[in-house]
Amino acid sequence: MAVAHARPGEVIDVRPLGPALATASTGTLLKTEKVEVIRLVMAAGKALAEHKARGEITVQCLEGKIAFTALGRTHDLAAGQMLYLPAGEPHSVRCLEDASLLLTVVLGTSAHREPATVLPGSPSA
């Protein structure tokens, strides 16, 4: 069941999923021409191969733990930690513990309608 994107002024709950994490799936929370916000859900042991986002991104770990590789370094991100990457920077993710992440992609002023990033298992994939 697809979740509708948030409307302007609508409150979005991004708290950790807790026990619901085991059955949750990745979903886009908000999408406009200039910003996309995705809750990325990953199971321990899963990985996203190296890829690039068209816009600048932030990745905030809401729960669990991941290994995020970019700019020649791997960082372990745990709940409450966040990182930023410039547009087009290659990166990969390996899930160390079941995790949910808040991924924000900020696009330039381009009016392209293509997805900001395509993640395996996301509704845009």
Domains and CATH numbers, the chain: 23-106 (2.60.120.10)
Which pLDDT band holds residue 117 (cuts at 50, 70, 90)? low
Task: Evaluate if pTM is beyond 0.85.
Answer: no
Q: How do strand 91-106 and strand 47-51 relate by DSSP bridges?
A: antiparallel
pLDDT in tens, 76-102: 999 999 999 999 999 999 999 999 999
Residue 32's H or E segment, with its range, is none
